[in-house]
Structure 1
């Protein structure tokens, strides 16, 4: 088994990455009654940025020069928006519905690529979009009462914004190292989330601060594990494993929060996952 290309290792790393990603929503849901989304987001980014800053200092800051300031800014804006919406959705609705709808990202990406990058969309991807959209409707269940629980719409917005972020990352990958990308992403996150958190700070129990630190570690783990996964396998080869987050969300939701899973959520999750898998294979 080659160290340069291993589907098995790539799959293991990407599953671990989305386990870390799902854990972020679990911690966010736990602190719902004790800390605002704005303050929690700021603390998470501050923890992650502090660790990355120490790493760049050890490397004598040689990873900081960049000529892609605009793309770093775009990634920062969409990244902080996606994370904040993700945590907010986890607090407003079930972990399963949150993770299912955030995973509409692979379905939004080709639509955005068509509009902004003028890329041609194959019939397989159009099929994926139709399947994924139908699954999204099943989960969201749009009706007159949808605004009474906006969590699903917030999660869907997180999936859309994250699709824009991934397109920016794809452009940055052409010339920027993972550490360079992570440094500017977290720096921007600290500055913006700090501004948004003004007026939202409050007395916080020590265990909530521990949750915040754990979420910051999960944020870093998700980024680095994802990078590690793509060192061993190409995104289209293992991208479907991102849907493991739906399974993790179901386990956490049932075990920790006694959430029930509706038949509509199961059907919609299967359709969205199927659409994402077809989209990934279609782009290949």
Structure 2
């Protein structure tokens, strides 16, 4: 029975990865619109879906006592993470942008130590350092690399997402309902980006409106699927499967945009995923020894 529940968790997290890969695809297909404008419409759709979910289940939006600062930090850094990710998606190979965003689990480890005062083991430190080295192969930090700025922005997106997910972890420990976190985050992002949108709105074609609607639906699907995944199984048991998004993004990038990552990027993928797999088995062994 426990294995069945775990397999459901794996299925949901792979579904989440597929949804986020499609979100990035739709963002890329929306063309040369500003990242802020893309972010607004993506979050507006997610807000409507989250609100409809609360109404359907007759739930009331409520922030538990002492949780407001964590909600604001989650929403603020989450918004920055989305803006950075969307900018990277527009300027990099899709799989490169996705991989830099997937540095977030390693930043979660780092910020859990800095913010939550959780102990770091030597293996976790090694994994974080190894993942950072892998990211350098994707960024290729030389003055000859024309993509260094979007690459660094993409990495910043992963860092911001890491802080945001650390806040989600805090909120989960403090009993805050997941749908209220999604609703507040989406609404906050819309409000923050609205002034820029009003001052610098770029006229959209019907096609751009449709693909941004698709991005919002895919993003909402990804958020709810990943919530369901972690409801069915602990993050340490299934988080490694989230890296399937890189495969989905690489296939989509090649099929639709004729993108082929260079050998250094591929080496970076291998290093980062290798560190994630190593952490996965390390956590499994540690849990097994704790049970004994």
Q: Which residue of 2 aligns with 1:28?
A: 27
Q: CA deviation at 1:18?
A: 0.9
RMSD of the alignment, in Å?
1.8
Q: Which residue of 1 aligns with 2:47?
A: 49
For structure 2, the residue ranges without an aligned partner over 5 or more in a row are 287-292
Q: CA deviation at 1:109?
A: 1.8
Q: Which residue of 2 aligns with 1:258?
A: 258
Greater Cα shift, 249-258 or 193-202: 193-202
Aligned runs of 1:100-249 on 2, under 5 Å? 100-146=99-145, 149-174=148-173, 175-249=175-249
Q: CA deviation at 1:75?
A: 0.6
SS in 1 for 2:143: coil
| Paired residue total | 282
- How far apart, CA to CA, are the structure 2 residues paired with 1:58 and 1:12? 25
Q: CA deviation at 1:170?
A: 0.2
- How far apart, CA to CA, are the structure 1 residues paired with 2:164 and 2:15? 21
- How far apart, CA to CA, are the structure 2 residues paired with 1:109 and 1:85? 17
- How far apart, CA to CA, are the structure 2 residues paired with 1:108 and 1:277? 16
Is 2:87 the counterpart of 1:88? Answer: yes
- How far apart, CA to CA, are the structure 2 residues paired with 1:280 and 1:64? 35
Q: Deviations along 1:188-229, whole A, 9 cap, x unmatched?
A: 111112123232212211111111111111111111101111
Contact residue 48 and residue 186 of structure 1 kept, 8 A: yes
SS in 1 for 2:115: helix
Normalising by structure 1, we get a TM-score of: 0.93
Contact residue 31 and residue 208 of structure 2 kept, 8 A: no
Contact residue 106 and residue 280 of structure 1 kept, 8 A: no
- How far apart, CA to CA, are the structure 1 residues paired with 2:134 and 2:147? 21
Q: Which residue of 1 aligns with 2:13?
A: 14
